[in-house]
Amino acid sequence: MAEIRFTKEHEWIRIEGDTGTVGISDYAQGQLGDVVFVEVPEVGKKVSKGAQAAVVESVKAASEVYAPVSGEVTAANAALAGNPGLVNASAMGDGWFFKLKLSNKAELGELMDEAAYKAYVAGLG
Amino acid sequence: MDKSQGRTARPDAAPAAEIVTASGHRGLQTEEKLIFEQGEPGRTGVDLPAPPKVADRLNGLKRQRPVGLPGLSEPQVIRHFTRLSQKNYAIDSGLYPLGSCTMKHNPRLNEKMARLPGLADIHPLQPVSTVQGALELMDRLAHWLKTLTGMPAVALTPGAGAHGEFCGMVAIRAALDAKGQQSRKRVLVPESAHGTNPATAAACGFTVDAIPADDRGRVDLAAFKAKLGPDVAAIMLTNPNTCGLFEPDIVTIAKALHEAGGYFYCDGANFNAIAGRVRPADLGIDAMHINLHKTFSTPHGGGGPGSGPVVFSEALAPYVPLPYVVHGKDGFRLVEGREGKAEPLGRLKTFHGQMGMFVRALTYMLSHGADGIRQASEDAVLNANYLLARLKDVMSPAFDGPCMHECLFDDSFLKDTGVSTLDFAKALIDEGFHPMTMYFPLVVHGALLIEPTESETRASLDEFVGSLRSLATRAKQGEAASFHAAPRLTPRRRLDETRAARQPVLRWKPAAPTRQAAE
């Protein structure tokens, strides 16, 4: 059973074994509006927790997407280049950004679970 | 909306979008090839004598491949660039309602004055005794800016609005440091401020603390007061703000801020709404830039350059950057170093600032007079309120009116229509108008920000309103597909603007191998 964690910056990471799939939350895509461009990291890139890993640009704003935890990029979602709207249509599914091989699973403990994230978003008004 | 006149201009023909021509041209709108595609090797528009035989002294630096310039005759070049210019949309061709940008008419008198040889042909390194008129012009412009704002000092040199912000915030940093208050590092920036404000504060080494907007689109006064403290350096507030609304609590904000030891930076980009009506000094402002290119009708939006003088209060006056003009017994002169009690910031720009824009702005001031400047502000506000009143039943105003020089709508009137703000703006192009500003300010969902300026007649506004009302009605009647296809009547249809910026194709490659490549 995969578990999912969220950051305060509205990234999600779904953990399966040593690998995590990263994207932005449904709340984040709603705030951004129509996504028109996504830049994903190259496979093999090492990212540390909180470092910029990807870029998402909507009709409103360009935003950085941060690595929720440290690790090495093992896959990037090539489909986003041709169809960035996938992020709007399926933020938590087909609109994933990249996959990471986790280097420090303990960092997951600093992230929110789904219930905590829901409460966090509700508090943002 | 139907602009045809006289005889029927629209026989029962197919829609224009479906007509195919052999040439690819559409009426008198040509399908323009790249200049490289039009060129032929060896063709030229000039007749140069053959170069004399000289020994090659370039050694290994000699060019190895052809330059790759296209060969064209003079009429080809003239036609190419004239046709391209005709595809451009400009304030000289129609209503340009880009909110926050103030695309007002640039009077031709400004241009005439800027081309006077005594102003156009001088050089900044000439002896000051030979440019007394130019220095007097700068002094007169400074006088007008100080009088209109009620402020005692002005820095003319900043090159545009954000540069002016930088000038003001550096002066505030200098004033704080002079008082030994290096620990004041926090700058309060309302959500309704221009996006450059937090960027400027960060660039100047301050930390940015956002103040939320209240449900009236104004600074949340309670939230502002709660954020005051001994580490607050300044507030950067835009008034009228980016929602096109006047901040009515500005005097209260200034008083509370000053009592807490902070300085008041006002973004004066929207001064064109209040010039001649409100003096910023009376509001408690310490520094404010004025976009000459917006308020005083000098060209911008690609026709620039901009110019962003900053007015200073008494507290910041010693920091006015170099050079500045003073009037002495021998006439006007430039101060280019430390004199008297001044603590100038040094230079922010080469030479004396955007002289050509100074000429145009002063021309605008002198030709309008103080009463004319006041009327321009009033007409700009009147036009925006006219649009708000004529559109509020079919579009959704973000906030209750009256507004200032621009009116703001959100996208709730498009809810469940399948039409987005972007689609709506693109459809406006087919109607023959430049779109309004979209998705800005960020505090409003799917924002549409419309600034008509004082340049427009009632008839022009009515035509624009007619198009907007028609589009709003069509969106609500379920014509989403036609919006998604817009624009349909332009030389190119909807473009992927983001990829054009992110992954631009900058090099032309010839189709046939016989052509020379462009280097």
Q: What CATH code is carried by the domain that includes residue A27?
A: 2.40.50.100
**In this complex, do B420 and A34 lie within 8 Å of one another by their Cβ atoms?**
yes
3-class DSSP state for residue A74? strand
| Share of chain B residues as helix, strand and coil, in percent rounded to the nearest 5 | 35, 10, 50
Distances (CA, A) of B425 to B330, B432, B467, B494: 58, 11, 11, 11
Any alpha helices (H) in B92-195, and if so which ranges? 108-114, 117-120, 132-149, 161-178
* B21 is a domain residue: no
Distance between CA atoms of residues B284 and B257, nearest Å:
10
State which residue of chain B sits closest to A82, comparing Cα positions.
Answer: B499
Amino acid at site B391: L
Mean pLDDT score, B469-493: 95
Nearest-neighbour CA in chain B from A17: distance (Å): 35
The first and second tokens of residue B266, run together, are 């006002």
Q: Considering only CB atoms, which chain A residues are within 8 Å of B438?
A: 59
Indicate the helix (H) or strand (E) that contains B467.
Answer: helix B458-476
Q: Where does a domain end: B343, B365, B387?
A: B365
* A111 is a domain residue: no
Q: Is B493 in contact with B16 (CB distance < 8 Å)? A: no
Q: Where does a domain end: B365, B400, B417?
A: B365
DSSP labels, A9-70: TSEEEEEETTEEEEEE-HHHHHHH-SEEEEE-PPTT-EE-TTSEEEEEEESS-EEEEE-SS-
**In this complex, do B442 and A60 lie within 8 Å of one another by their Cβ atoms?**
yes
Distance between CA atoms of residues B262 and B260, nearest Å:
6
Q: Which residues pair with B226 in a beta bridge?
A: none
DSSP labels, B241-302: -TTS---TTHHHHHHHHHHTT-EEEEE-TTGGGTTTT--GGGGT-SEEE--HHHHT----SS
More confident residue, B514 or B100: B100
pLDDT at position B12, please?
44
Using CB atoms, pick whichever of B421, B439, B502 lies closest to residue A37.
Answer: B502
Same domain, yes or no, for B319 and B413? no
* A119 is a domain residue: no
Among all chains, which residue has been given the structure tokens 């998604």? B484
State which residue of chain B sits closest to A59, comparing Cα positions.
Answer: B439
Report the domain count for chain B.
2
Same domain, yes or no, for B427 and B345? no
pLDDT at position B389, please?
98
Q: Where does a domain end: B340, B365, B390?
A: B365
User: DSSP state, B213?
Assistant: B
Q: Considering only CB atoms, which chain A residues are within 8 Å of B497?
A: 36
* A122 is a domain residue: no
Distance between CA atoms of residues B220 and B249, nearest Å:
9
**In this complex, do B498 and A37 lie within 8 Å of one another by their Cβ atoms?**
yes
Distance between CA atoms of residues B484 and A85, nearest Å:
14
Residue A102: alpha-carbon gap to chain centroid: 14
**In this complex, do B442 and A61 lie within 8 Å of one another by their Cβ atoms?**
yes
**In this complex, do B498 and A57 lie within 8 Å of one another by their Cβ atoms?**
yes
Mean pLDDT score, A78-84: 92
Q: Which of B341, B338, B335 is nearest to B314 (CA)?
A: B341
Q: What percent of chain B has pLDDT over 90?
A: 77
**In this complex, do B502 and A39 lie within 8 Å of one another by their Cβ atoms?**
yes
Same domain, yes or no, for B347 and B378? no
Same domain, yes or no, for B357 and B383? no
Nearest-neighbour CA in chain B from A97: distance (Å): 18
pLDDT at position B48, please?
87
Distance between CA atoms of residues B181 and B233, nearest Å:
9
Q: Which of B218, B193, B246 is nearest to B377 (CA)?
A: B246
Same domain, yes or no, for B399 and B286? no
Q: Which of B172, B119, B139 is nearest to B287 (CA)?
A: B172
Give the model's confidence band at A125: pLDDT under 50 very low, under 70 low, under 90 confident, else very high.
low
Q: Considering only CB atoms, which chain B residues are within 8 Å of A33?
A: 439, 445-446
Q: Which of B433, B435, B450 is nearest to B398 (CA)?
A: B450
**In this complex, do A36 and B498 lie within 8 Å of one another by their Cβ atoms?**
yes
Same domain, yes or no, for B387 and B350? no
Judged by average pLDDT, the poorest of A72-81, B133-142, B227-236, B334-343 is: B334-343
* B53 is a domain residue: no
* A115 is a domain residue: no
DSSP labels, B47-115: -PPPPPP-----GGGS--S---PPP--HHHHHHHHHHHHHH---TTTS---BTTT------HHHHHHHT
Cβ burial of B125 (10 Å; 0-12, 13-18, 19+) is: exposed
pLDDT of residue B303 exceeding 80, the answer is no
Nearest-neighbour CA in chain A from B221: distance (Å): 19
pLDDT at position B512, please?
61
* A13 is a domain residue: yes
Q: Considering only CB atoms, which chain B residues are within 8 Å of A60?
A: 439-440, 442
Nearest-neighbour CA in chain A from B401: distance (Å): 25
Using CB atoms, pick whichever of A33, A39, A57 lies closest to residue B446.
Answer: A33
* A82 is a domain residue: yes
Q: Work out whether the CA dihedral B326, B329, B331, B335 comes out positive or negative.
A: negative
Same domain, yes or no, for B353 and B468? no
Using CB atoms, pick whichever of B422, B440, B499 lies closest to residue A34.
Answer: B422
Distance between CA atoms of residues A42 and A53, nearest Å:
9
pLDDT tens by residue, B1-21: 333 334 333 444 445 557 889
Nearest-neighbour CA in chain A from B410: distance (Å): 13
Strands across the sheet containing A52-58: A35-39, A52-58, A62-66
Q: Which of A106, A103, A107 is nearest to A74 (CA)?
A: A103
Same domain, yes or no, for B473 and B420? yes
* A124 is a domain residue: no
Radius of gyration, alpha carbons of chain B: 27
Give the model's confidence band at A93: pLDDT under 50 very low, under 70 low, under 90 confident, else very high.
very high
Nearest-neighbour CA in chain A from B215: distance (Å): 13
Distance between CA atoms of residues A120 and A122, nearest Å:
5
Using CB atoms, pick whichever of B439, B496, B499 lies closest to residue A33.
Answer: B439
Query: Under an 8 Å CB criterion, which residues of B touch A?
Result: 420-422, 438-440, 442, 445-446, 496-499, 502
Same domain, yes or no, for B359 and B379? no
The first and second tokens of residue A116, run together, are 């905590």
Crossing angle (nearest 10°) for helices B196-203 and B161-178: 40
3-class DSSP state for residue A87? helix
Same domain, yes or no, for B206 and B352? yes
Q: Is A76 in contact with A97 (CB distance < 8 Å)? A: yes
Amino acid at site A9: E
**In this complex, do A59 and B439 lie within 8 Å of one another by their Cβ atoms?**
yes
Where residue B318 sits, what CATH number does that domain have?
3.40.640.10
Same domain, yes or no, for B379 and B358? no
A&B contacts, CB < 8 Å: 23
Mean pLDDT score, B46-55: 88
**In this complex, do A59 and B499 lie within 8 Å of one another by their Cβ atoms?**
no
**In this complex, do A37 and B439 lie within 8 Å of one another by their Cβ atoms?**
no
**Residue in B410, B436, B439 to test binding to A, most A beta-carbons within 10 Å:** B439
* B70 is a domain residue: no
Report the domain count for chain A.
1
Among all chains, which residue has been given the structure tokens 């103080």? B370
A92: domain range?
A: 3-105
* A117 is a domain residue: no
Distance between CA atoms of residues B390 and B17, nearest Å:
31
Interfacial A residues in 24-63 facing B (CB < 8 Å): 33-34, 36-37, 39, 57, 59-61
Q: Which of B387, B471, B388 is nearest to B430 (CA)?
A: B471
Mean pLDDT estimate for chain B: 92
B338: domain range?
A: 109-365
**In this complex, do A59 and B502 lie within 8 Å of one another by their Cβ atoms?**
no
Same domain, yes or no, for B312 and B403? no
Give the model's confidence band at B26: pLDDT under 50 very low, under 70 low, under 90 confident, else very high.
confident
The first and second tokens of residue B137, run together, are 């012009």
For B250, phi then psi, to 5°, come to -60, -35
Q: Considering only CB atoms, which chain A residues are within 8 Å of B502?
A: 37, 39, 57
Q: Considering only CB atoms, which chain B residues are within 8 Å of A37?
A: 498-499, 502
